[in-house]
């Protein structure tokens, strides 16, 4: 058992190195050698665990997805009030790049998605599985908790599309994380039909942390 755990730790160490290289220098800068240097291991060790760059990149994508699910689960478990509104807000907050870890995830995941359009070795990866699971989960949360005239599935899709677009705007500096969160809460207020308890969303141009 300890031997297996050591192998898992090594793989995680290497894939985390790839994420750091990609987040700092861009996905185009990722090579087996640059990842080895970043992870503090030999090139031979990287090649031992991952026979090709494509294999390494796919493993890093899977790890990113798993870590995102774990962060989301921890955020939900920490909710002081497990209402549908609070649950939906927590799910959407996780979809925004609001701290170094989530920013790295969104930046690298977006780069992967763009590269997959022209790279056959990445195109087969389940890029939409994570967003689809999140959309289904959000629709379940909204069902029976929002305005009677609103469709939970359609609203879940709309909210996630909004969150993804806002996430991109944060990454490129169009607005700050706080502004993006305000906009999501503004739409949740409308959807849940309650009185607005958030400030009006600030206009882009002056990012708010």
CATH annotation of 1-51 = 1.10.10
CATH 1.10.10 residue ranges for the chain: 1-51
Neighbours of 149 (CB within 10 A): 6
pLDDT (tens digit, 9 = 90+) per residue, 58-89?
888 888 888 888 888 898 888 887 789 999 99
Question: 66-209, superfamily in CATH?
Answer: Tetracycline Repressor, domain 2 (1.10.357.10)
The two tokens of residue 57 are 């990149």
CATH 1.10.357.10 residue ranges for the chain: 66-209
- Each of the 209 residues of the chain gets a pLDDT tens digit; together they read 455 558 999 999 999 999 999 888 888 889 999 999 999 999 999 999 998 888 898 888 888 888 888 888 898 888 887 789 999 998 888 889 988 888 888 888 888 878 777 777 665 565 667 778 889 999 999 999 998 889 999 999 999 999 999 999 999 999 999 999 999 999 999 998 753 444 334 444 444 44
Helix, strand, coil share (%) of the chain residues, nearest 5: 70, 0, 30
């Amino acid at each position: 058992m300890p031997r297996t755990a050591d192998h898992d730790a090594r793989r995680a160490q290497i894939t985390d190195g790839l994420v750091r290289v990609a987040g700092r220098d861009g996905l185009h800068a990722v090579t087996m050698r640059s990842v080895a240097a970043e992870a503090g291991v030999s090139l031979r060790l990287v090649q031992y665990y991952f026979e090709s760059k494509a294999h390494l990149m796919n493993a890093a994508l899977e790890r990113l997805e798993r870590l995102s699910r774990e962060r989301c689960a921890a955020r939900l478990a920490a909710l002081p009030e497990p209402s549908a509104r609070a649950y939906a807000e927590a799910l959407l907050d996780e979809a925004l790049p609001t701290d170094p870890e989530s920013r790295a995830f969104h930046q690298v995941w977006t780069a992967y998605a763009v590269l997959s359009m022209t790279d056959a070795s990445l195109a087969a990866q389940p890029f939409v599985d994570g967003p689809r699971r999140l959309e289904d989960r959000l629709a379940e949360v909204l069902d029976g908790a929002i305005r009677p005239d609103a469709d939970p599935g359609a609203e879940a899709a709309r909210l996630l599309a909004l969150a993804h677009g806002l996430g991109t705007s944060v990454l490129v500096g169009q607005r700050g994380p706080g502004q993006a969160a305000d906009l999501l809460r503004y739409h949740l207020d409308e959807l849940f039909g309650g009185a607005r308890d958030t400030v009006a969303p600030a206009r882009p141009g002056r990012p708010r942390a």
